[in-house]
Structure 1
Amino acid sequence: MHKLLVLYPEPTDRAAFEEYYRGTHLPLCQQLPGVRSISIALGICEPGAGPYFAIFEATFDTEADCHAALASPEGRAVEADVPNYATGGATVIDYTLEPHAL
């Protein structure tokens, strides 16, 4: 399983971020080819209390699927949309999970 993680620092306007993110950006993300699941967390800390305001996580079957999705027209549209709401920018990390038995 491969994950795409996006970390968002504190935006200029939390309410504007959330409205745009939920109404415009997430529907774009849902169109990524090969995406298996999407999870988000918004407002994960009080303003000024931590480095991040929001987290996005998408799951793909493989690293190749993730990279193909990002390179697709849908992936380029998602990337081009980020400056429309993420006034603090975004940090993108992708990685393959290694299963570990308990």
Structure 2
Amino acid sequence: MHKLLVLYPWPADPEHFENHYRTVHLPLASKLPGVLGARFSLSVNAGPEKSPYFAVFEADFSDAQSLESAMASEWGQKVEADVPNYATGGAVVLNYAVGPLASTADSP
């Protein structure tokens, strides 16, 4: 499995971010081809300190090629083009392969 992770630093206008994100950006992202599952949060908590991130988005793909194809698609291009419309703090985009955690039964 391959994961796309987007971390959003605090925007200049959190209310505008949330409204645009929910009504425009997430509907665009829902049309990305090949997504196995996706989730987001606008409640990023860093314990007693203020989190450096306002929001987080993650999506699962079967492999890196599926993610690359999704982002190169018409919908992927629309998703990328929309980011400056709400994310005034920018976005940190990561992608990586994920594997299962070894079970305790496998440990010596």
TM-score (norm 1): 0.93
Which residue in the other structure is 1:55 paired with?
56
Supply the distance in 2 between the matched residues of 1:37 and 1:22 (Cα, whole angstroms): 17
Which residue in the other structure is 1:7 paired with?
7
Larger radius of gyration: 2
Task: Give % identity.
Answer: 52
Structure 1 unaligned segments of length 5 or more: list them: none
Q: 5 Å matches for 1:5-84?
A: 5-45=5-45, 49-84=50-85
Supply the distance in 1 between the matched residues of 2:99 and 2:45 (Cα, whole angstroms): 28
Supply the distance in 1 between the matched residues of 2:43 and 2:15 (Cα, whole angstroms): 10
Measured after TM superposition, the shift of residue 100 of structure 1 is 2.2
Instruction: Describe the SS at the equivalent of 2:82.
Output: helix
Supply the distance in 2 between the matched residues of 1:22 and 1:38 (Cα, whole angstroms): 14
Instruction: Describe the SS at the equivalent of 1:53.
Output: strand
Supply the distance in 1 between the matched residues of 2:54 and 2:95 (Cα, whole angstroms): 19
Runs of 4+ aligned structure 1 residues displaced above 4 Å come to none
Which residue in the other structure is 1:97 paired with?
98
RMSD: 1.4
TM-score (norm 2): 0.88
